[in-house]
């Protein structure tokens, strides 16, 4: 019953988001036919902006879980809402035995899809960074496939009527790589590389529209620190 309530709320929220978001941005989706119809899946996406979770949430009309930082769960009302919509905390200090992978697998096995950003941080310049193996660990433990997602903006700075394309790649199944819940990160390297290669190709090859490579206005703290190091090296 709980899943059905969440499913209803999720569809309602999706409709409201579309009403408010689509007049602001020009959004298109490619490759929806690649999403498995008979199983839950893990969407592995590049990370462009804070809008990414919303965009991925519109890919399929099915409850989509996210992994969020613990501070977002401090407010009981907001915490209850995002939990109902499928979000789980990355850590939970109140429970010393909290296991993120077990919680995420539980969500997948109860009918939710999950979203992970393998890069671990935003890349505001539109390039795809290196991925981490966490998405493969979850796939191997839960037995569900990973669906690569490539998010493309026509500018590094979103504005009114910016063009956005969300590309959905073909699913990758852990059993095709011989992975199980006991597989090591080294054994998962091939699957991780294939996931990131798929995302990179969707984002950086054959763009769906003309792209303006302008200077990002809202860089991450990591990107700002990198720029400072570059400037210091040039001055020295």
The pLDDT of residue 2 is: 65
pTM listed for this prediction = 0.91
Answer yes or no: are the C-beta atoms of 172 and 116 closer than 8 Å: no
The 3-state DSSP class for residue 38 equals coil
CA neighbor of 208 nearest in space, from 150, 159, 160: 150
The pLDDT of residue 63 is: 82
The average pLDDT across 203-207 equals 95
* Euclidean distance between CA atoms 60 and 114, whole angstroms: 12
Other beta carbons less than 10 A from residue 168's beta carbon:
22
Residue whose structure tokens are 């902006």: 49
Q: How many domains does the chain have?
A: 1
Answer yes or no: are the C-beta atoms of 58 and 11 closer than 8 Å: no
Tens digits of residue pLDDT in 166-197: 999 999 999 999 999 999 989 999 999 999 99
pLDDT band at residue 72 using 50, 70 and 90 as cut-offs: confident
The pLDDT of residue 22 is: 96
Phi, then psi, of 169 in degrees rounded to 5: -90, 175
223: domain range?
2-235
Tens digits of residue pLDDT in 85-128: 788 998 999 898 999 999 999 999 988 999 999 998 899 999 99
Answer yes or no: are the C-beta atoms of 182 and 104 closer than 8 Å: no
**Is residue 207's pLDDT more than 50?**
yes
**Is residue 235's pLDDT more than 80?**
no
Residue whose structure tokens are 């035995």: 97
**Is residue 228's pLDDT more than 70?**
yes
**Is residue 199's pLDDT more than 90?**
yes
CATH number reported for the structural domain that contains residue 133 in this entry: 3.40.1130
Pick 82 or 200 by higher pLDDT: 200
């Amino acid at each position: 019953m709980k899943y059905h309530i969440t499913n209803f709320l999720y569809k309602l929220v999706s409709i409201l988001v579309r009403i408010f978001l689509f007049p602001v941005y020009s959004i298109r989706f490619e490759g929806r036919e690649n999403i498995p119809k008979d199983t839950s899946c893990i969407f592995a996406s590049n990370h462009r902006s804070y809008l990414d979770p919303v965009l991925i949430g519109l890919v399929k009309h099915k409850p989509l879980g996210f992994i969020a930082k613990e501070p977002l769960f401090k407010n009981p009302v907001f915490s209850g809402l995002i939990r109902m919509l499928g979000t789980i905390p990355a850590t939970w200090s109140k429970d010393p035995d909290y296991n993120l992978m077990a919680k995420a697998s539980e969500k997948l096995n109860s009918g939710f899809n999950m979203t992970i950003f393998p890069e671990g941080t935003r890349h505001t310049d539109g390039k795809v960074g290196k991925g981490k193996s966490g998405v493969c660990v979850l796939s191997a433990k839960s037995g569900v496939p990973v669906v690569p997602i490539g998010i493309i903006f026509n500018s590094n700075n979103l504005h009114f009527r910016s063009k956005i394309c969300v590309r959905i790649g073909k699913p990758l199944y852990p059993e095709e790589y011989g992975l199980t819940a006991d597989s090591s990160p080294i054994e998962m390297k091939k699957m991780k590389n294939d996931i990131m290669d798929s995302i990179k190709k969707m984002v950086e090859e054959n763009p769906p529209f003309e792209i303006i490579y302008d200077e990002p206005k809202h860089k991450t703290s990591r990107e700002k620190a990198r720029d400072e190091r570059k400037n210091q090296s040039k001055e020295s």
